[in-house]
Amino acid sequence: MSGEVRLEPAGGGGGGGFDNPSRRNAFTGPMLVQLRHLLAKAADDQAVRVVALRGAGEEAFVSGADISAFGSATGVETGPRIEDLLGAFAELDKPVLGVLRGWCLGGGVLLALAADVRLAGDDLRMGIPAARLGVAYPKAGVARLVSVAGPAVAAEMLMSGEPFDAADALRAGLVNRVVPAGSVFEAAQALAERMAGNAPLTLAASKRTIAAVSDADPEASEAADRAIAVCHGSDDFREGQRAFAEKRRPVFRGR
């Protein structure tokens, strides 16, 4: 078995599971192909309002590439480069929630940082052991790490090769919140449901605007402006006004 990645709608969210527990959910080439398809499917499915990424079992989120598969038909080199998947995460107009338990290493850190929000169990061990393997972490991954946690944290993680525990990851800004490991999936489901109940167009505009203020790219700024304008002319905006006046919960339809 080379593992798999699944999309399992739950409570208005799409739960992407990295399932290779015998290898601590290490990813293979076919798994990265499945992940790319998962993101495309989530983008097109109006019933999916949040994508939640987690690892199977309790031992790991993703422990990086499956080294045992290198050079085989399932080796990571047979799939898309993991850093190239960052664009697919960024282009998805829906929140991506990373649900982290146990080990999160190497390419798993890049996958975690591709999420918009990261919720961690207190058993998290998050690190990049590239310096111990004699390989260089991809430039796109370093850029994302620096943008999330700053150059000093990136230098410590990359140059020491030592994993951060959950408390250190929280202090460094690598995760948004830490909860007891046994309740992290339940807490993530509750957060995903809260997000999914909000206006989809507003969620998309928020994602685009965060990207724009984090990036000097004029195209990012223009995309944010368009997303904001769509919100203001939407049926959901009018529904939100009516619901407020009528003292009820709004029913948003993403249009």
**122, pLDDT greater than 70:** yes
pLDDT band at residue 63 using 50, 70 and 90 as cut-offs = confident
Prediction pTM value: 0.88
**φ, ψ (nearest 5 deg) of residue 26:** -60, 145
**155, pLDDT greater than 80:** yes
Measured distance CA(11)–CA(192) in Å, rounded: 8
Does residue 110 contact residue 149 with C-beta atoms inside 8 Å?
A: no
DSSP state for residue 65 in the 8-state scheme = B
Task: For the chain, count helices (H), then strands (E).
Answer: 11, 10
pLDDT band at residue 15 using 50, 70 and 90 as cut-offs = low
Give the dihedral sign, CA 197/200/204/210: negative
Measured distance CA(101)–CA(103) in Å, rounded: 7
CATH architecture of 4-196: Alpha-Beta Complex (3.90)
pLDDT band at residue 19 using 50, 70 and 90 as cut-offs = confident
